[in-house]
Amino acid sequence: MRFESKAAIVTGAASGMGRVTSQRLAAEGCGVVLCDVNQDAVTQAAQGIRDKGGDAIGAPVDVRCYEQVKAAVALTLERYGRVDITVNCAGGNSARVLSRPEPFHERPIEVIDWGLDVNLKGAVYFCHAVLGPMIEKKAGVVINLGSIDGICGSYSLDYGASKAGMIGLTKSVALYGAPHGVRACCVSPGPVLTRPEMAQHPTRLGRAAEPDEIVSLILYLCSDDASFVTGANYVIDGAYCIGGM
């Protein structure tokens, strides 16, 4: 029970690695506020955790809206009195999510804005909102979900740029938070089986990762076992980036 009596906020928590992260934090004793733009799905995800004896609530949050971000942090403080962990999982490739397959330079700028806002600005918003309570408690951990596209580049330019930005954000939060006992790390996965089509992206290990493999790293970085770890980006990609694929 590494996270007993602690409280976490997880964004993008209605599905994928955000949902798995929330489930596993709760299973180890953490109270979790699940945030997602999909109200029905995030409510169901939180209920699923409670059905298994965990402590969780679902909060409909569009990470592009700072007022909703602030409300989610206020909800966490009201319920738990603290914010120990924030995991910024919300994100997605704008071309895929918004069904815009045309080349980057032909996409409407609104699509590009969506990608930058969800993948980077939302994480910046949550960092801004949680750092005060964390600094006050002189403890806290921020985990930002990057991607190998932020390291190797991407044909979806806004996605690659925003995921590279997550690395810079992490280093900056680590510098800012270190005098106050606040840590920050970035986790940059390669292909993950959050969708069946990800199996079509083989790594040097010959497969895509299971979500639990990524989440195990996230939970380690959130835990006291990683108390001297901050400011780093952790690539977990089955050697996908080595020499290209």
159 in catalytic set: yes
The answer for residues whose C-beta is within 8 angstroms of residue 98's C-beta and 6 or more apart is 111, 114
DSSP string across the chain: -TTTT-EEEEESTTSHHHHHHHHHHHHTT-EEEEEES-HHHHHHHHHHHHHTT-EEEEEE--TT-HHHHHHHHHHHHHHHS---EEEE-----HHHHTT--S-GGGS-HHHHHHHHIIIIIHHHHHHHHHHHHHHHHT-EEEEEE--THHHH--SSHHHHHHHHHHHHHHHHHHHHHGGGTEEEEEEEE-SBTTSGGGGGS--TTSSPBPHHHHHHHHHHHHSGGGTT--S-EEEESTTTTTT--
Active-site hit among 159, 176, 220, 240: 159
Q: Which residues form the catalytic set?
A: 159
